[in-house]
A and B are shown apart, each in its own frame.
Chain A
Amino acid sequence: MTDGGPVSGAEGGTARGTEGEREAGAAPAASEGGRWPFWLPVGVLLVGLILTGVLVWISASTYSSNERRLLNLRVHDAGALFSGAFAAIQTPLASAAALADATNGDVAKFMRFVTPYTTGKTPTFGSVSLWRLGADQTAPLAVVGTPPVLGATPSRAEAFFATTAASRSRLGVIGLLTTPPRHLGYAFTSRGLAGRYVVYAESRPLPANRRSRFQSTSTFSDLNYALYLGKLQRPEDLLVTDLEKLPLTGQTANLSIPFGDNSFTFIVNARQPLAGSFPERLPWLIAVVGVLLSIGAALLTLRLVQRRTHAEQLAGSLERIAEENRELYSEQRTIAQTLQHALLPEKLPKIRGVETGARYEAGVEGVDIGGDWYDLIALDDHRLLLVVGDVSGRGVRAAATMASLRYAIHAYAAQNDPPATILTKLSRLVNVGATGQLATILCALIDVEAHELTVTSAGHLPPLLISDGKGTFITGAVGVPIGVNTGATYTSTAVSTPRAGTLLAFTDGLVERRGESIDTGLERLQHAATANHCELDQLLSRLLEELRHDGDDDTAIAGLRWLD
């Protein structure tokens, strides 16, 4: 065998393939790394917090504007109530003024008319008095109720009535009379032609500390309020409030209510949320839930990121394992091939006048040892036994059967048994019922001196004899494969050999293709073998290269060339 033989060739190919895979597998690992793993969870947290903030702001401002709207509604309701109350003040005074005018200051009628307003459970006025304009104004014509506080300061009364007379037919408001207890003073001038009479009234004393609450049953019991005379909310103008301490804080609503030639300013704020407590708490609720959800989402994202990282690491290690497996696989394959080759002859015998060669090619798929083999045994200095066999199946069992058959043949050959006897004896050794295996074997005895070739086949493909550019298959009697019948007998076919020629024995891997007749494969071999004129070793290599097709079956080929 030459140096570029099948063993080293197959190993070289395997080693190259493994290294290529290793380089390809290492590449994706280098692109990883250096990326901060928490940017995604932090991003989710930020987005969640921003969204929460926006929602809180929206709900808070909605709550605020809603409260403002409700407060405005309430203050207008309260204003309407006050307007009614002020009408109840103005109307009797106007009527009394008109009466005085019409009766030309009839005191008795005035008193009879006014008395109901100063008596009773809740009198409208503390004091009502009738004054004549332009006359001596130091004293009223008539007084009902308590004497007017204004009476004590005639100069102020004079000035006030002068102004009131100018704004005839309107209620004139003198303001707060500071003499304790405080009163509110107002006057109405008759609208008659003369306009000579003024009806002046003072309110009942205001509460000493100017403090009064709405009744708890009132519609307005949920409001704090302050009522001022005039538009300026000065402390001295305060009429009444329910608070210990002014001014009103927080969201307030105010309303200016006209009162004669003056006005009241009414300010309220809400003691508690007008729309109920839920809308007030909603922003807080959204804030808490939003923050919790954001944190939850961030944690979930973190976990997913970690899982992904983990999965990537796992994928990386799986890739490494796969690579290791590939290495192990190819290693195992190499072992199988080494074993196979160990079962094949290490060195082919040399006999004068002939040249020998052989090849074994493993199937590419799987790591199982194939069952094909070849053997060349020198019987003496001019006789050679050429054997090619194929054990059905693969794996260690096929290899064991192959080994036992091979060594048995060596033993029978040593006994000088001819091929037919060798196979007949072999068939006693193997029983398909026991081992489940068959073996097809071709046994050829070459006698160089006698120029004779004796061939016996146990179900094996016929050998090809090439001479003078022509190839002939030696198809003699074919016996059953070894293992089928322990009582089988074999016969041999003898042909005389050419002075110069080549004998090729092979297994079915060289000629068989799926869906094709075996005859087509044999013809292909015949053509290729006669077309190639070269050294025997080279011929064997070329035939393997040209004829092996799908390569999933192992192939053995042995050749012998007679040298002229």
Chain B
Amino acid sequence: MSFDLGYAGDDGLTVTINGELDITNVDALEAAVGSALERHPERLIIDLSGLRFADSSAIALWVRWSTSVPEIELRDVSPILRRVIDTMGLAGTLNVKP
């Protein structure tokens, strides 16, 4: 797993996640992005175009993030991941964009 942080506009934070995100590296990502979230961005955009796999702990991380920002958006979510998110009833909470 690797990730990039970017800033979109004045209040937007973009996290681009690549590779596989699961229980083994979720904590590392959360710790790394934590300080950026402490600046209270208005919008958090999670770019998943480079994500190959995410397990339920990854989804839980995004849900946690969703509670700390006013607006969240999941971009470029793969159909497989989209189906899991739908199964969990989280498409609205995570504001999934195709």
Give A residues with C-beta under 8 Å from B.
390, 392-394, 432-433, 436-438, 440, 457-462, 478-481, 483-485, 508, 512, 514-519, 553
Nearest residue (CB) in B for A515 is B53
Nearest residue (CB) in B for A481 is B88
Smallest beta-carbon distance B52→chain A, Å: 7
Smallest beta-carbon distance B26→chain A, Å: 8
Smallest beta-carbon distance B25→chain A, Å: 13
Smallest beta-carbon distance B27→chain A, Å: 9
Known A-B contacts A432-B63, A518-B80; the reply to A393 vs B23 at CB < 8 A is yes
Do B80 and A392 touch across chains, with their CB atoms under 8 A apart?
Answer: no
Contacts of B79 in A (CB 8 A): 517
Is the CB of B97 closer than 8 A to any CB of chain A? no
Nearest residue (CB) in A for B89 is A478
**A-B CB contact pairs (8 Å), 17 listed:** A392-B56, A392-B60, A432-B64, A432-B67, A437-B60, A438-B59, A438-B60, A438-B63, A440-B88, A459-B87, A459-B88, A480-B92, A480-B93, A481-B89, A481-B90, A485-B93, A517-B79
Contacts of B23 in A (CB 8 A): 393-394
Smallest beta-carbon distance A279→chain B, Å: 73
Interchain CA distance A519-B63 in the complex, whole Å: 23
Is the CB of B57 closer than 8 A to any CB of chain A? yes
Q: By CB atoms of chain A within 10 A, which of B52, B53, B64 has the most?
A: B64
Interface secondary structure of B, over-half rule: helix
What number of B residues sit within 8 Å (CB to CB) of A? 23
Known A-B contacts A478-B88, A518-B83; the reply to A484 vs B63 at CB < 8 A is yes
Is the CB of B18 closer than 8 A to any CB of chain A? no
Nearest residue (CB) in B for A483 is B63
Nearest residue (CB) in A for B27 is A393
Smallest beta-carbon distance B61→chain A, Å: 9
Is the CB of B14 closer than 8 A to any CB of chain A? no
Encode B54-86 as 1/0 by CB contact (under 8 A) with A: 011101100110011000000000011001100
Do B93 and A518 touch across chains, with their CB atoms under 8 A apart?
Answer: no
Known A-B contacts A433-B68, A508-B56; the reply to A519 vs B88 at CB < 8 A is no
Interchain CA distance A459-B59 in the complex, whole Å: 12
In the complex, which of the residues A390, A394, A480, A514 contacts B90, with contact meaning CB atoms closer than 8 Å?
A: A480
Contacts of A394 in B (CB 8 A): 23
Do B80 and A479 touch across chains, with their CB atoms under 8 A apart?
Answer: no
